[in-house]
Amino acid sequence: MNLKINNPFKSIWGLLLVASLFFAVPTVASQQDSTAVEAQTETTVDTAGSAEADTTAAPATDEAPATTDATVSTGTSTTTAAAAEETSKIDPQVYKNFFYYVLLFLVICTVIAVIGRIHSLYVLTKKMNGKYDPLANNTFQAILLFLFLLFFLWGTYYSFAVWGDWAWREAVTEHGKDYDQMFIVTTVLTTAVMVIMHILILTFTLIYRMRAKRKAYYYPHNDTIEKIWTIIPATVLTILVLFGFFTWRKITNVPEELQKSAIQIEVLGEQFKWSVRYPGADGKIGKRNYKLTTATNPYGIDFNDKASWDDIDATDIVIPVGKSVRFHIISKDIIHSFYIPDFRVQINAVPGMTNYFQFTPTVTTEEMRDRMNDPSYDYIMLCNKICGQGHFNMGKKVIVVTEAEYKEWLTKQGKYFTEDLQKEFAQNNTEIEVDQQTASLN
Amino acid sequence: MSSTVISHDAMHHDDHGHHHETFLTKYVFSQDHKMIAKQFLITGIIMAVFAMLLSILFRIQLAWPDKDFPILEVFLGKWAEGGRIKPDFFLSLVTIHGTMMVFFVLTAGLSGTFSNLLIPYQLGARDMASPLMNMLSYWFFFTACVIMIASFFVESGPASAGWTIYPPLSSVPTAIPGSGLGMTLWLASMVLFIASQVLGGVNYISTILNMRTKGMDLWRMPLTIWAFFLTAIVGLLSFPVLVSAVVLLIFDRSAGTSFYLSDLVVQGEILPNEGGSPILFQHLFWFLGHPEVYIVVMPAMGITSEVISTNSRKPIFGYHAMVYSLVGITVLSFIVWGHHMFVTGMNPFLGGVFMITTLIIAVPSAVKAFNYTATLWRGNIRFTPAMLFAIGMVSFFISGGVTGLFVGNAALDIHLHDTYFVVAHFHLVMGSASIFGMLCGVYHWYPKLFGRMMNTKLGYLHFWLTFLGAYLVFFPMHFMGVDGVPRRYYAFTEFPFMEKWVSVNLLITWAAIVAALGQVAFLVNFFGSIWKGKKAVQNPWGANTLEWTTPVEHIHGNWPGEIPTVYRWPYDYSKPGHDEDFIPQTVPFSQTMSSNQMHDFEGDEEAMRIQEEWNKENNRVE
């Protein structure tokens, strides 16, 4: 080991260490003179009436306790004075903490470097004693990989047992049962493949690690084996594909009569909220035209369509258990996504087109609360397509109730065609009529 | 064609008058494939570090949603007022992290580096088919990087519509601040980037097809070259489609057209656009976007194949199957893009078709994983840092690949689409796997790039920190996704069911921070070894491919004399009967009579007769 001073890396390293010490040492000392620093800050701020003096004072309080050398602190304060105006709000302790962590990291690096050096020395002495095994490290890495395998298997078990338990809730819709079944089949299959492949790879690396007098087995190909492991995944995948394809068709391809007999609900997404529209007594959702959007009619409902007059404006999505519900998903501005995790339901809300998702809930919110043993549990519909700053907070409660409760709830909801809107609409219509009359008179 | 090049370079090499190079032509506007490879690599590393820092920033936000970090305000100013990252800026961070990692690091940094370095070297060419185009390719890429970083210095912030920049969010500036000038810069950067990829791709393909040395037929090419070749084809066919998508988006944003826009009321203002469809953009985007993930992962596969074979001292198992599976992936990658759009409202029947094609692509991928495993079996494995990264790559490819069966299945995708499950899936199979392929390549070919060796101890430290870190970061995310936590959420505190995951986020963020600090070991090792590393020998790994027959010091034209001729495939490792455990491609069969197999002669009867005679004389039983 030779200690050269002109080694640039060591010099840079040393400089970094010194620089961090420079900032970090006072964090230890600051406990003693923190009061002094505060007092100093107060006095400088008090005495300095003008803004200029204030900015120069700020870096001074930053640097002065760090160095105790007056000349250095004034030197740095003049150079940082311009930048200081911006950062003067930030507590100097913040910088100290930052450099404390930098120092901590550098210390760890140094420790690692020292360990590395010690290891080199150890190898060197072994070499001198003639006991050096050039493959020792190779074996060590193989053992580490095997230990990783054990960790990996334990980690897989742990994450399934703990996080899997957190994550998994049975679906509460009819199609969700098919979904869950397929999900579990796929999970078992893929986990098995993952675990077996890792066991194979990481035991091979241990067993077949390099030995001094062994040669690898020259085995460039074996067509039979290759055919087998092409055909087996292909078959398994075919089964999964068919399974998935039929489930997918079942979910998305609802027969027309069932589409019509379902309860129709329209959901409109916008930045950053959802609006829900029930069709009212006539069972028809009135027309909407985005061009009719006004401050009083933010939904853009076309009230010329009489079907819209009884449309219900609901604060939550309330649906009856055991009934097929057909959601019409639309968007007012950008793409959102209508996503209810518990229901295994998702479809994007795309401006300019209507998407549909039809499903049947099977468990009411009350029952779910009992099941989860959580009296405040609620189904939630989330926005699942990046849509701006409020994206993470754009949800709507979904409440599944019994049929009777649903009917009762419906009667209590307000309408989109509020009295104000009715007046406005009537006024507009008379204006149009007046216009038409005058036109005919002329 | 190649013969003229040979005579030119072979004869005049030592006394070249025009070899006098200035700093500018040697290091900056270099047309030499080796220097361009280094430029790509170092730019890629810088971008990777930048993108990694961005990810640490948003990980901090996710782990400590209620805590202030005043130091962030020092660096980020108004975007982290009071030491807390703002939601808008959070989205910018994830957007730029994704864009940089996918395009600048794993496409240009990976393909650009190793295609440029290895195509001429491993094929026995003096340089690329068009060195000028090669240089332009780098400088377009570099400009794209500069523009992308410049978007951080724009008042309204960098693009923030996600790396997939779906309109209308990306096209309406009132919808999100990042869709102002930041988005314009993103688009400009992307156009330049695609120009770079097309220039590079044309060059790679023409070099591979035209400039192979004598004896290097297609079936003697190393798998690295096959991977780069097919990657270049995929890139060349799909990147132009992204240009069209981007150009139309530019029109929508700046010229008032309505390709992607219709029926919009943004922030209470009725927009005049009519008749467009946001879904059109998604089709165009994913027509590139899906092949893109294979552009990212195929070079990593090629590099890994080469490194695993070399360090197992054993031929890669099923060379032909490896090539055919790459070809299969290449072809299928073009007809699976719709699996990103199952829940967009695309015709459900079409979704079913895309599901079938998607799951078919799992077959060649599975074959590759099995073949890697078979290569390790009964090998004589040497754990260089490169080999460890290759094993790590295979591990990630398997762990991340199996979850493709979930998200590729249209029915299962209903629940998992756009959740953390997807984040976990692609970060493992495409992110971690390709970055490991890239690092594996850096460790393996560093002696060829810089003529020096990297420090192995730091290499091991780097590997273990990164490998464990990546698993701890991405594996738990699967479970969040199953629970229904959407990606790109700024905080998990708004909905009661997500709150339990904040504790897991803490684990993830700490793992990410440790893994990120572990990269310091790499950076110190990489940049330090350029000057301080141990001098490399010509063929440090005992490898067969042609690049190890070139001198350690880089010279213009790669080989001082004639370009070597190739006589055999690149995977003759541990051939029985040979005294060494490797036979370079340049060794003719006449010099290895004791190890030749009848299969080697590919039906050449004269050669077989000679071999049989020799076998009889020497009592060799095959």
Question: Is A310 a domain residue?
Answer: yes
The CA distance from B291 to the nearest CA of chain A, in Å, is 21
Mutate which: A215, A222, A337, A381, vs B, most B CBs within 10 A: A215
At residue B22 the predicted structure's pLDDT band, cuts being 50, 70 and 90, is confident
pLDDT greater than 90 at residue A325: yes
In angstroms, the Cα distances linking A366 to A371, A399, A402, B454 are: 9, 9, 10, 63
Bridge partners, residue B381, by sequence: A209
For residue A203, being part of any structural domain is answered with: yes
The answer to whether residues A332 and A321 belong to one domain is: yes
| Nearest neighbour of B488 by CB, restricted to A94, A186, A391 | A391
Q: Domain check: are A104 and A142 in the same one?
A: no
The pLDDT assigned to A64 comes to 39
Q: Which domain holds residue A143?
A: 135-211+222-252
Residue A106 lies in a domain: yes
Express each pLDDT in A360-378 by its tens digit. Answer: 999 999 999 999 999 999 9
User: Residue A427: inside a domain, yes or no?
Assistant: no
Residue A50 has pLDDT above 70, yes or no: no
* pLDDT the model gives residue A134: 86
Lowest mean pLDDT across A72-76, A82-86, B475-479: A72-76
Whole-number pLDDT of residue A6: 54
What average pLDDT does chain A have? 82
- State the pLDDT at residue A432: 63
Share of chain B above pLDDT 90, in %: 79
Q: What digits encode the pLDDT tens for the residues A287-311?
A: 999 998 888 888 989 988 888 888 9
pLDDT value at residue B19: 58
What separation in angstroms does the CA of B363 have from each of A195, A199, A251, B74?
A: 18, 21, 27, 51
* Mean of the per-residue pLDDT values of chain B: 91
Can you give the pLDDT at residue A345? 94
Q: Is the per-residue pLDDT at B544 higher than 70?
A: yes
Lowest mean pLDDT among A93-107, A425-439, B241-255: A425-439
Q: Measure B154 CA to nearest chain A CA, in Å.
A: 18
Contact B265 A221 (CB under 8 A): no
pLDDT at position B446 over 90: yes
Helix (H, G, I), strand (E, B), or coil: what is residue B445? helix
**Of A307, A382, A287, A288, nearest to A343 (Cα)?**
A382
Asked whether residue A242 falls in the same domain as residue A385, the answer is no
Among A353, A292, A294, A289, which residue's Cα sits nearest to residue B275? A353
Q: Are residues A226 and A314 in the same domain?
A: no
Is residue A140, in this structure, part of any structural domain at all? yes
Q: Is residue A442 part of a domain?
A: no
* A270 and A412 co-located in one domain: yes
Q: What is the pLDDT of residue A21?
A: 62
- 10 Å CB burial of residue B92 (0-12, 13-18, 19+) is buried
Is A411 exposed, middle or buried, given 0-12, 13-18 or 19+ CB atoms closer than 10 A? exposed
Predicted confidence (pLDDT) per residue in A99-110, tens digit: 999 999 999 999
The count of domains in chain A is 3
CATH number at residue A386: 2.60.40.420
pLDDT at residue B603, as a whole number: 81
Domain co-membership, A233 together with A326: no
- pLDDT for residue B6: 43
Range in A69-73, B351-355, B408-412, B507-511 with the lowest mean pLDDT: A69-73
Considering the domain architecture, whether residues A17 and A36 belong to the same structural domain is answered as yes
Looking at beta carbons, which pairs linking A61-67 to residues 24 or more positions away fall under 8 Å? A61/A37, A61/A92, A62/A92, A62/A95, A64/A40, A65/A26, A65/A29, A65/A30, A65/A33, A65/A36, A65/A37, A66/A22, A66/A23, A66/A25, A66/A26, A66/A96, A67/A22
Residues of B within 8 A of A226 (CB-CB) are 318, 321, 367, 371
- CA–CA distance, B593 with B149 (Å, rounded to integer): 58
Residues A241 and A267 grouped into a single domain: no
Which member of B87, B265, B476 has the closest CB to residue A332? B265
A385 with A279, same domain: the answer is yes
Interval A168-217: pLDDT, tens: 999 999 999 999 999 999 999 999 999 999 999 999 999 999 998 888 99
Same domain, A267 and A384: yes
Say yes or no to pLDDT of A61 above 50: no
Q: What secondary structure letter does DSSP report for B546?
A: G
Please report the pLDDT score of residue B390 as a whole number.
96
Average pLDDT over residues B382-411: 95
Cβ contacts (< 8 Å) between B496 and chain A: which residues? 376-378
B409 contacts A189 by C-beta, under 8 angstroms: no
- The CA distance from B436 to B374, in Å, is 20
What is the reported pLDDT for A296? 87
A96 part of a folded domain: yes
Mean local confidence (pLDDT), A128-141: 90
| Same domain for A325 and A392 | yes
> What is the tens place of the pLDDT at every residue in A142-159?
999 999 999 999 999 999
> A419 — contact with chain B (CB < 8 Å)?
no
| Span B78-125, pLDDT tens digits | 888 888 999 999 999 999 999 999 999 999 999 999 999 999 999 999
Which pLDDT belongs to residue A132?
A: 86
| Arithmetic mean of pLDDT, B430-454 | 95
> Is A258 part of any domain?
no
Distance from CA of A442 to the nearest CA of B (A): 34
> CA dihedral defined by B139, B143, B145, B151, rounded to 10 degrees?
180
Interface ipTM > 0.90: yes
**B496, closest residue in chain A (CA to CA):** A377
| Per-residue pLDDT tens over the stretch A215-233 | 899 999 899 999 999 999 9
Same domain, A235 and A312: no
